[in-house]
Amino acid sequence: MGFSTLGINEDLLKAVVAQGYKEPTPIQASAIPAVLKGKDVMAGAQTGTGKTAAFALPLLQKILENKQQNLAIKTLVLTPTRELAQQVHNSFETYAQFTDIKSTLAYGGVSIKTQVKALKTGADILVATPGRLFDHIVNGTVDLSHVEYLVFDEADRMLDMGFIDEINRILKRLPPKRQTLLFSATFDEAIFKLSKTLLKNPELIEVNERNKATTQVEQVVYNVDADRKRELVSHLIGSKNWQQVLIFTRTKQGADALAKEMCKDGLKTQSIHGDKSQGAREKALLEFKSGKTRVLVATDVAARGLDIEQLSYVINYELPYIAEDYIHRIGRTGRAGSTGLAISLLSPDENWLLEEVEAVIKDRLPQQWLPGYEPDLTKKPAKDDFKNTRSAQKRRTKKRASGEKTGNNRRRR
């Protein structure tokens, strides 16, 4: 089944063909007709499944059908991070390249002035992070009174990052009569709670089994002592001659320290996290994409939404505290049909984190010892600090379900 059978207009089809897409992905085949019919949609889809086009194409089509002379924001897309906002905006621009539809951006970490100017000039689509959008609302620099279509992209992440207050305040400024689409890689109680307040009689679309990690990705766990992880990573990348590797750490400091050490090992490495300026993050990403940098070390927040074509290797230097993040992390590889390898390094004191991940993905991950890097089982495991305890994790999960902010989720605008 080609895109043309989905009812997509010629100019949009031209852009799709120019992108080299031959067939709609499963999420596109399900979501495009539902959105065109005017249905609210709740879709479970990870990054890498083609979810952006699944909402962008039918919304562009709807805007084209009712295009008026004066520009007004008809479509509002909320994303958790700047990177994802940028990426979604780029996708809208790509798919709308043969039309006169305009998209603009509003996210934090950069000067608000340029955005104010762009908003004044006018656009049909606004892609925004909740914090910065709320700043524009307070300053009176955005008019949301014409919004007809609202998209929540990576809604689970938005809740994780504690954006619920901003979301509720933004919702109050939107016309009540609208079509709302909610995309989330994972579904939990908090998402269902949000969906109840947001969506009217939604069509539920699930292309992957709920909370299931992508199957094109081979997943392996290497047991290794914490103080030998860096050595193991450099060994793997060097001996296997991997050219583009994305590594996840839990903290910004950890990301910086690891990048520095890896450079000393002769592997060109950069780090990317929330404390780096937008410019620095974009530069690091560009250099990684172009192959100038071989290894990119990222925190979960910074990596969300990164779209790197043909990324084959993801390494979890540490497993995430929020088990669902594991799915997002490994979703960076095995995208749009290609295969990938996701390696997790597990020190003996991190077993409980693996159990959390396995509970979320409803699967057991194969564990291996790598010759020369076997863990020293005579060593005493490091004492868990408060954040690492299982009860603390449970408290956070509970808080998240009730829509409260969790302590380990930084809010960023």
**In the complex, which residues of this chain contact ligand AMP (CB under 6 A)?**
19, 21, 23-25, 28, 47-53, 307, 309, 335-336
CB-CB contact of 364 with 336 (8 Å): no
Tell me whether residue 24 or residue 80 sits nearer to ligand AMP (CB atom): 24
Shortest spacing between CB 331 and ligand AMP, in angstroms: 9
Strand, helix or coil for residue 165: helix
CA angle in degrees (0–180, nearest 5) for 374-226-308: 100
Tell me whether residue 56 or residue 360 sits nearer to ligand AMP (CB atom): 56
Shortest spacing between CB 157 and ligand AMP, in angstroms: 13
Shortest spacing between CB 52 and ligand AMP, in angstroms: 3
Shortest spacing between CB 15 and ligand AMP, in angstroms: 11
Q: Length of the chain in residues, anyone?
A: 413
Tell me whether residue 183 or residue 187 sits nearer to ligand AMP (CB atom): 183
Residue 262's nearest CA partner among 303, 310, 294 is 294
Shortest spacing between CB 336 and ligand AMP, in angstroms: 4
Tell me whether residue 128 or residue 311 sits nearer to ligand AMP (CB atom): 311
Tell me whether residue 269 or residue 333 sits nearer to ligand AMP (CB atom): 333
The DSSP string of 305-321 is T---TT--EEEESS--S
Shortest spacing between CB 197 and ligand AMP, in angstroms: 26
Tell me whether residue 119 or residue 330 sits nearer to ligand AMP (CB atom): 330
Q: Residue 15, by phi and psi: left (phi above 0), alpha (psi -120 to 50) or beta?
A: alpha
Residue 302's nearest CA partner among 321, 281, 283, 317 is 281
Shortest spacing between CB 49 and ligand AMP, in angstroms: 5
Shortest spacing between CB 305 and ligand AMP, in angstroms: 8
* Rounded Cα–Cα distance for residues 257 and 265 (Å): 13
Tell me whether residue 202 or residue 334 sits nearer to ligand AMP (CB atom): 334
Q: What are phi and psi of 235, to 5 degrees?
A: -60, -45
Token couple for 46: 């990870």
Give the other-Cβ count within 10 Å of 395's Cβ. 13
Shortest spacing between CB 310 and ligand AMP, in angstroms: 10
Residue 76's nearest CA partner among 178, 2, 158, 165 is 178
Q: What are phi and psi of 77, to 5 degrees?
A: -115, 125
CB-CB contact of 325 with 301 (8 Å): no
Tell me whether residue 336 or residue 359 sits nearer to ligand AMP (CB atom): 336
Q: What is the DSSP letter of 380?
A: P
Residue 24's nearest CA partner among 59, 49, 61 is 49
CB-CB contact of 224 with 232 (8 Å): yes
Tell me whether residue 19 or residue 368 sits nearer to ligand AMP (CB atom): 19
